[in-house]
Amino acid sequence: MDNESLLNLAPMIGAEQIALLERLSNACGISGDEGEVRTIILEQVKPTVDEVRVDALGNVLAVRKARKETRLRLMVAAHMDEIGLILVEEEEGGLYRFEKIGGIDNRTLVGKMVLVGKDHLPGVIGARPIHLQEEGDDERAIPIDSLKIDLGPGGKAKVGDRVAFATRFQNLGVSLMGKALDNRLGVAALIELLKHPLEYADLCAAFTVQEELGGARGARVAAHAFNPNAAFALDCTPANDLPSWDGSENVTYNTRLDAGAAVYVADRGTLSDPRLVQHVLDTASAAGIFCQVRQPGGGSTDAASIHRVRAGIPSLSISTPGRYLHTPVSIVRLADWQSTLALVYLSLQRLTPDVLGQPR
Amino acid sequence: MKTLIEKLTQAFGPSGYEKEVRQVALDAIKDHVDEWRIDALGNLIARKGTKARDGARIMLSAHIDEIGIIATHIDEKGFVRFTNIGGVRPDNCIAGRVRFLNGARGVIGVERLEPRDKVPSLENLFVDVGATSRADCPVKVGEVAGFERPFLELGTRLVSKAMDDRIAAAILVETLKNLTSSPHELYFVFSTQEEVGLRGATTAAYGIDPEIGISVDVTATGDTPKSSKMEVGLGKGAAIKVRDGGMLSDPRLVQAMIDAAERVSLPYQLEVLEGGTTDARAMQISRSGMPAGCVSIPCRYLHSPSEMVDYQDVQGAVSLLVELLSQPIRLG
Amino acid sequence: MSEITPFLKKLLTLPGLSAYEDPVREAIATEWRPLVDELSVSRVGSLHGVRRGRGTWEGKRPGILIATHMDAIGLMVTGVVDGLLRVTEVGGVDPRVLPYQPVTIHGRRDLPGVIVQPPESLLPSNTRGKPVRLQHLLVDTGLLPEEVHELVRVGDLISFATQPVELAGETLAGHTLDNRASVAALTICLQELKRTAHPWDVWAVATVQEEETYAGGYTSPVDIHPDLAIAVDVTFAKGPGVSDYRGFPLGKGFTVGYGANVHTAMFTALKDLADEMDLPNHVEVMPNQSGTDAYPMQVVEEGIPTAIIGIPLRYMHTPVETVSLKDINRVGRLLAEFISRLDDHFMEKICWDGK
């Protein structure tokens, strides 16, 4: 099969998929409180899958059986939780203290609008006016315990309410901008994959919880339950491809926008299965899909726990590069998302027991 | 024009003591203007043309003062301690030469500093005028000096002390000479005391009461090794100021300048300067206010005795002003 | 919610950075046109609306000028690098509130974008963990570098794009409530005056460039020659980051300024009237310069007796400034009542050291 005809088999991102991503991005699903996102996922996958259930941790586990014959069980995990905040103490006059959930830089919190609790009450995180700053204030990051969420005088919420950034999704043409694109991009892509059954493999889809808390605990129980022959983590990874302050060469970009899906060889949590790495890169070249190898280094994904489940599961992560992940707003390229979806789909479709039968 | 630039830049004229340089400017313009006067702060104000129906009363300002020093104390050994007139940087002073208004010359020395790489302050500096005692020192407390440094041509680059802002004075002279017809009543102001707070332009603007104000001044560049990040560079054309540290140019006037440059296919650059300001700030808020803007000449090593401009930018500024002032200025 | 809310929200969605106030000025002019006898625009762009007094006077009818600045703080493009924008500030901006704020870039067309903080590895090594300086922040439009170079150039303006939101307790949060909140208060005053006879001329002025040079405050009084002038501006509300005497409770009344920028007799007249009307208020001590348009207006030409009314506001100069609609309404009512009581004897009260 030539490049073009192979690529033609892959699912495409269109207006419908972007509209779904918009809903997912605007939904609030802070780690441990993923209900809103889960509801959308269940509504989307129920009509197409053969089996679906919600497990003890809140993961959504769905199976789409092979179209012809089941020769492999292949798992794809996409985490549905996002970073955010949680109210920890009520002060007077509609002011609340809060803590962070997931990896957030304190310097990104000041002056933001937020949505509090299930009713999405609007609130703001204010700061001392520049006019009243003391000498040297601008040299110090504002400590989190001096920041408050302000609901307005008399505003009421509950301690324990999760707080999401109020950023609204925007389609910028070549780019998409919104909160929680890490990892609603993966969630939306996995929903799309379930609409396209594989020929000779069951697709075991895990929409996982609690990835941002570390330990990938949602993925761990999901992998145990599915017990697949191989697994892919479908996630987002930072594109730190900005210019450096002094114009020197940027050698720590991690990934770059416009360079396609990011294939992991190694991160802090996983050494990817080399057979899968080779298979995915071969698939990309056979189909003419542009992709990049993510700079080996820090970070981790659901693969970190999946590959260590039971007797071990060959695992690999494929991510869409995104700028400004773990901040109130991130930017991704549509073309990179499309590349990720196509590469994952064709890699799954072309994966045979032979590939996994080679010695690692 | 280069001869004029050399004469203007080499003339003496620290803020408040602009007589010598003003005379150079006056000699250059007096046969080309309709009338001229010198106001109470020493500004040279020359009118050219009268206002046609679609014209305006416009003030153009180039300051003729320069930074300098003033003696604060003469010590027993005859060394002269001094303070600044305008934005003098101590690190640009060391081993420099100065000339006092009374003709005395000297070199600037520095105390031994601990640690050795400490950046000196003005208090660490002194002028050595060749005296051996307070008694034989030719300089008295309160006497004013300017920096000395000869004029230099390096290809298309011109270098001198006081390029800020004598280069603009030269540009005003050339502009008024080249301007053959204009619907405007134009006031060419060679302003004083800019370096100490736009004082000359403040009173000149009040006296003239113009409808539009344009200053011509130098601006910084971002084109030298590890310089501040600024898009303006030498040789890329005159700069049209959008903002500086002290004012925002009137956007209508910015557009009029861009239009003028594009009408005659002149290269130009847009300037956003972080810090510093010009006579345009004073004009903008004079009386009931006026649209004000600035044509800038990119200049390296500002407030040093070796300020560098590009001659093509200088000629570009003249062409830009001539085109701008030849036509009615529509402010929308 | 207050009747003024829709107008105020509209003002908050319009750009109008210092020196580029046209969009917001047009919206204010539309609102004021039915409320005033004449509208004009000064040479630097301030909006002047006058309601002529009904009194009969020998000589010139006296006039009062109420100034509310309409300009906004924001950013300006200083360079384009790899499709990302370097910026500087317009007005006083704390760089610490900027990372990840949504913005609109006013390029060849309006572009959405976001202010971003580059990864630590791309910043100077001695600034790790510290607030990132404005010169190192960038703006990302999500467009490809070629498009950015075509659409954006040095000097283009950038506005905050945060949409206003109503919070509990009749408060509104958003950017540029400094000082569009006061423009709303002045509009309420003009609406009230429509139903009241007033002997004096009233000049409602929306000034320009208060955040930069006070260009409007210095110049409008030269055109208008008022006998009295009041600057209405926001002041600090108590809340996170503000606990000392400089802050006033949010929603518990406006402030009446007291200090060298204020004529003592004007202070007394406004304070007494507020108390008489049972409008909650606080004395705001201004030890030095007031940071309002009263500062320039006081010294225009032969000098003008000035006063300052403040509307408490939280998180000043951030995109989540928060203000009470009740306080805005109270200021509107106070101004209208003050103006309607100005008569041919009022100037006799404006004297120093009693009489």
Tens of each residue's pLDDT in chain C, 355 residues: 479 999 999 999 999 999 999 999 999 999 999 999 999 999 999 999 999 998 778 888 999 999 999 999 999 999 999 999 999 999 989 899 999 999 999 999 999 999 999 999 899 988 888 999 999 999 999 999 999 999 999 999 999 999 999 999 999 999 999 999 999 999 999 999 999 889 999 999 999 999 999 999 999 999 999 999 999 999 999 998 888 888 999 999 999 999 888 998 999 999 999 999 999 999 998 888 889 999 999 989 888 999 999 999 999 999 999 999 999 999 999 999 999 999 988 998 888 876 5
Mutation to test the C interface, candidates A124, A140, A257, most C Cβ within 10 Å: A124
Residue in C88, C135, C219 nearest the CB of B288: C219
Residue C126, classified by CB atoms within 10 Å of its CB into exposed (0-12), middle (13-18) or buried (19+), is exposed
Instruction: From C173, B174, C252, C115, select the one nearest A324 (Cα to Cα).
Output: C115
Which chains would you list as touching C if contact means 3+ CB atom pairs under 8 Å? Answer: A, B
Q: Which residue shows structure tokens 């929603």?
A: C251
Query: Residue B220's pLDDT is what?
Result: 97
Query: Residue B274's pLDDT is what?
Result: 92
The pLDDT tens digits of the residues spanning B144-176 come to 999 999 999 999 999 999 999 999 999 999 999
The pLDDT tens digits of the residues spanning B112-132 come to 988 888 889 999 999 999 999
Q: Which two tokens stand for residue C22?
A: 């046209």
Q: Flag if B284 and C90 touch (Cβ within 8 Å).
A: no
The pLDDT tens digits of the residues spanning A126-145 come to 877 878 877 777 788 788 77
Q: Which two tokens stand for residue A40?
A: 């959308």
Query: Residue A1's pLDDT is what?
Result: 54
Residues of C in Cβ contact (< 8 Å) with B243: 19, 76, 88, 90, 155
Q: Flag if C218 and B274 touch (Cβ within 8 Å).
A: no
Between the alpha carbon of residue A255 and those of residues A31, A236, A250, A297, A320, the distances in Å are 25, 10, 11, 11, 9
Residues of A in Cβ contact (< 8 Å) with C317: 129-131
Q: Among all residues of chain C, which has the CA nearest to that of B277?
A: C213
Rounded to a whole number of angstroms, the distance from the CA of C276 to the nearest CA of chain B is 37
Residues of C in Cβ contact (< 8 Å) with A109: none
Bridge-based pairing state of the strands B238-243 and B268-272:
parallel
- pLDDT at residue A4 is higher than 80: no
Query: Residue C354's pLDDT is what?
Result: 61
| Range with the poorest average pLDDT among B6-10, B282-286, C237-241 | C237-241
B258 Cβ contact list (under 8 Å, min separation 6): B240, B268
Identify which has the larger pLDDT, A159 or B36: B36
Query: Residue C54's pLDDT is what?
Result: 86
Query: Residue A247's pLDDT is what?
Result: 87
Rounded to a whole number of angstroms, the distance from the CA of C109 to the nearest CA of chain A is 14
Compute the average pLDDT of residues B247-260.
97
B18: left (phi over 0), alpha (psi -120 to 50) or beta: alpha
Q: Flag if C130 and A177 touch (Cβ within 8 Å).
A: no
Rounded to a whole number of angstroms, the distance from the CA of B297 to the nearest CA of chain C is 17
The identity of residue B170, as a single letter, is A
Spatial contact of B328 and B54, defined as CB atoms under 8 Å apart: yes
Rounded to a whole number of angstroms, the distance from the CA of C238 to the nearest CA of chain B is 31
Q: Flag if B248 and C209 touch (Cβ within 8 Å).
A: yes
Other CB atoms within 10 Å distance of the CB of residue C159? 24
- What is the interface size between A and C, counted as CB pairs within 8 Å? 200
Chain C residues 14-33 within an 8 A CB cutoff of chain B: 18-20
Q: Among all residues of chain C, which has the CA nearest to that of B240?
A: C155
The identity of residue C34, as a single letter, is P
Instruction: Assign A2 a pLDDT band (cuts: 50, 70, 90).
Output: low
Spatial contact of C266 and C307, defined as CB atoms under 8 Å apart: yes
Mutation to test the C interface, candidates A131, A242, A252, most C Cβ within 10 Å: A242
Q: Among all residues of chain A, which has the CA nearest to that of C91?
A: A130
Residue in C88, C155, C218 nearest the CB of B285: C218
The pLDDT tens digits of the residues spanning A64-116 come to 999 999 999 999 999 999 999 999 889 988 999 998 999 999 999 999 999 99
Cα-Cα end-to-end distance for chain C? 45
Catalytic residues of B: 194
pTM: 0.87
| Range with the poorest average pLDDT among A22-31, B269-278, C118-127, C209-218 | C118-127
Q: Flag if C43 and B290 touch (Cβ within 8 Å).
A: yes
The identity of residue A287, as a single letter, is A
The pLDDT tens digits of the residues spanning C35-58 come to 999 999 999 999 999 999 987 788
Rounded to a whole number of angstroms, the distance from the CA of A316 to the nearest CA of chain C is 26
Distance CA A151, CA A66 (A): 51
| C52: DSSP letter | -
- pLDDT at residue B141 is higher than 80: yes
Q: How much is the ipTM here?
A: 0.85
- pLDDT at residue B23 is higher than 70: yes
Q: Which two tokens stand for residue B128?
A: 């050595």
The identity of residue B137, as a single letter, is C
B249 touches chain C (CB under 8 A): yes
Query: Residue C241's pLDDT is what?
Result: 84
